[in-house]
Amino acid sequence: MKTKGWTILIVLLLVALIAGGAFIFSSMDRDREMPPVITLEGGNTITTVEFGSQYQEPGFSAQTAAGKDITDQVEFEVPIMRTSGTYHIDYKVTDDQGNSAVATRTIQVVMPEQTDQGKERGLAVLMYHDVYDDKKPPENVDANMISKTNLKAQLDFLVDQRYYFPTWSEVEDYLDGKIDLPEKSVVLTFDDATKGFIKYGAPLIEKMDVYATSFVITSKNGQDMVDKKYKHIDLESHSDNMHRSGGNVGHGGIFTALSHDEAVADLQKSSGILGHANAFAYPFGDYTDDCRKAVEDAGFKLAFTTENGKIHPGDDKLLLKRVRVNGDIALADFISMI
């Protein structure tokens, strides 16, 4: 009986050992199959960074499913934060078993609050028109035309000096007194979407680290411009078909002679083709109070005349000035203007 009892006990012990071993191996298999874990300091909440300041990494850690520290194997890349807005940093790690994990941190880059100095400084919205090849200049070159060489020299200066090119949303916030823009900020605008701009100006802008707006006469070539899908050029309205004579104000543009409904219909047609109504440039710079009202009722947020000067917080957002860039201007004079 004693021998039988020992036999049963031994069998039970063997069964327990086998079951325990199976559990251990099963746990090890699960650990080999489970992905590692990345922990971000501060969690995955949005990290706010003021534009122009150095991003400070809050920290992170990583462990395998078995608890082994593999923080030193985490890979990530901080994006170049050239504008305000939302950015993401992806942290990636792979353990020795080939299991991988990804964690994402959201970065919100914001402009600083407005200061008296920022308000007084103002913002230059530069007004260009046509561009020509100075190796094959047209017969009649006027002040509204700039050569490729001069334009490139100006753009090179802006790039070398690290000028900032604010979005229209940022311009609106600046005018509303909500934010300051970097001291070296400028907006580039080209009126009419001329053949010269399309052939010479646009390719230059597209391959440089600059951004510009083309104010397009949509009845002329609006859809063609949209179809080009520029990366560095924003398309905004210069009306659909109001860049023509017929009025008695200023340069005689027809906008001042149209009824309110006619003007609004034209403006909304142009914004419909372009897909938005961020900004508008008055044809020939002509406007009246009725024109301003039509622009407002058509849903435009900003509108520009041809009156010379920088813009400042508190200015009428639908009657904004611009700084005219004449084609033959010396680089030193251009620098002093902005």
Domain segments of the chain as ranges = 37-110, 116-337
Whether 97 has a pLDDT exceeding 60, the answer reads: yes
| Distance, CA of 109 to CA of 212 (rounded, Å) | 22
pLDDT computed for residue 178 by the predictor: 96
pLDDT computed for residue 27 by the predictor: 46
Residue 189, CB-side half-sphere exposure with 13 Å CA sphere: 28
If we measure between CA atoms, which residue out of 214, 217, 272, 271 comes closest to residue 244? 217
- Please give the residue that has the higher pLDDT: either 275 or 84: 275
pLDDT computed for residue 8 by the predictor: 63
- Please give the residue that has the higher pLDDT: either 325 or 18: 325
pLDDT digits (tens, 9 = 90+) for 178-229: 999 999 999 999 999 999 999 999 999 999 999 999 999 999 999 999 999 9
∠ CA 218-220-223 to the nearest 5 degrees? 55
DSSP label at residue 41: T
Whether 135 has a pLDDT exceeding 80, the answer reads: yes
DSSP label at residue 200: I
Whether 28 has a pLDDT exceeding 60, the answer reads: no
What are the C-alpha distances in Å from 289 to residues 20, 195, 255, 303?
88, 32, 11, 13
Whether 257 has a pLDDT exceeding 70, the answer reads: yes
Find where tokens 């099963």 sit: 26
Please compute the mean of the pLDDT values over residues 50-79 and round it to a whole number.
94
Please compute the mean of the pLDDT values over residues 229-241 and round it to a whole number.
98
| Distance, CA of 289 to CA of 335 (rounded, Å) | 34
pLDDT digits (tens, 9 = 90+) for 303-333: 999 999 999 999 999 999 999 999 889 999 9
Q: Phi/psi at 14 (nearest 5 deg)?
A: -60, -40
φ/ψ bin of 279: left (φ > 0), alpha (ψ from -120 to 50), beta (otherwise): beta
| Distance, CA of 288 to CA of 12 (rounded, Å) | 100
pTM over the 0.85 mark: no
pLDDT band, residue 243 (cuts 50/70/90): very high
- Please give the residue that has the higher pLDDT: either 91 or 33: 91
Whether 22 has a pLDDT exceeding 50, the answer reads: no
Q: Phi/psi at 118 (nearest 5 deg)?
A: -65, -40
Ordered strands of the 85-94 beta sheet: 47-50, 100-110, 85-94
pLDDT computed for residue 14 by the predictor: 57
Q: Options 3.30.70.360, 3.30.70.870, 3.20.20.370, 3.40.50.300; which CATH number does 116-337 get?
A: 3.20.20.370
β strands within the chain, DSSP E: 37-40, 47-50, 60-63, 85-94, 100-110, 124-128, 130-132, 145-147, 186-191, 212-216, 233-237, 279-281, 302-308, 320-324
Q: Is the CATH code 3.20.20.190 the one for domain 37-110? A: no
Please compute the mean of the pLDDT values over residues 279-287 and round it to a whole number.
98
Whether 259 has a pLDDT exceeding 80, the answer reads: yes
Whether 1 has a pLDDT exceeding 60, the answer reads: no
DSSP label at residue 54: P
| 142: amino acid identity, one letter | D
